[in-house]
Amino acid sequence: MKSHARVVVIGGGVVGVSTLYHLAKLGWTDAVLLERSELTAGSTWHAAGLLPLFNMSYTVGQLHKYSVDLYKRLPAETGQDVSFHVTGNLRLATCRDRMDEYRKYCGTANTIGVPFEISFGGRTLFQYAEDVAKTLVLASRSAPDGPRVFNLGGSKVSLDEWVAAIEAAVPGAAGLITVAPTELPFPADIAHDRLTELGDVPVTPYRDAIAATAAIYRRLAADGRLDGAQHGVVAPAPTRP
């Protein structure tokens, strides 16, 4: 056994093995891995076989996508069958809050290059997060006489139009989002006239809301806080002082 090495990786779990693999890919030949038992015998073994692409984080989602692509090409690269099977998953939303979560993930998925299908079509109501926050602030500052119940307003739009607006704001997402033709049996709109009791409640047009959201990520990329190329947005060229 070697007594010296330029790099010593401690632990043969998925992180350790991946570290050694990528070092070797970069040309680091003087590297060894030490494992007290056998490869993947620790915590990695308990989570074996689970590699979801559904993740709200852009960074973790990008790691998941890279891992899926890596496992797909490993058999051809190594000559070893890694028994990687892409089965997909189906998630069902049983309430509006869960559906809003899935729509948010749709935005995450299309900006990291993961195909995403909305399994229903038709028209529905979309609320811009900033409008919702401002409405809640207005409600907290109001002084109603007794309890009040309000429905949040929004933009009534077909899912096809919504996807087209995303593709217009983020050209790199073109073709990644698909919509099923089946319409769900719920109202496309709800009465929200009573919101005027709170004051000037904002309702941002959905195209403006989508464009504003894309602009946020472009700004983060320009500030160096987001890798825009990985997320489908291009940072503006730096200006000279």
Q: Mapping DSSP to helix (H, G, I), strand (E, B) and coil, where does residue 179 land? A: strand
Torsion of CA 8, 14, 15, 17, to 10 degrees: 30
Hey, how many other C-beta atoms are within 10 angstroms of the C-beta on 60?
12
Each residue's pLDDT tens digit, 3-33: 888 999 999 988 899 999 999 999 998 999 9
Each residue's pLDDT tens digit, 159-181: 889 889 988 988 877 888 888 88
Which residue ranges make up each domain of the chain? 7-78, 96-231
Instruction: Provide the percentage of residues in the chain whose pLDDT is more than 70.
Output: 83
Structural tokens at position 93: 């939303």
Q: Could you please report the per-residue DSSP string of 32-59? A: EEE-SSSTT-SHHHHTTT------S-HH
Which residues, other chains included, contact 30 with Cβ-Cβ below 8 Å and sequence gap of 6+? 5, 6, 7
User: CATH number of 96-231: 3.40.1210.10, 3.40.50.300, 3.40.50.720, 3.40.50.1820?
Assistant: 3.40.50.720
Give the confidence band of 233 by pLDDT, cuts at 50, 70, 90.
very low
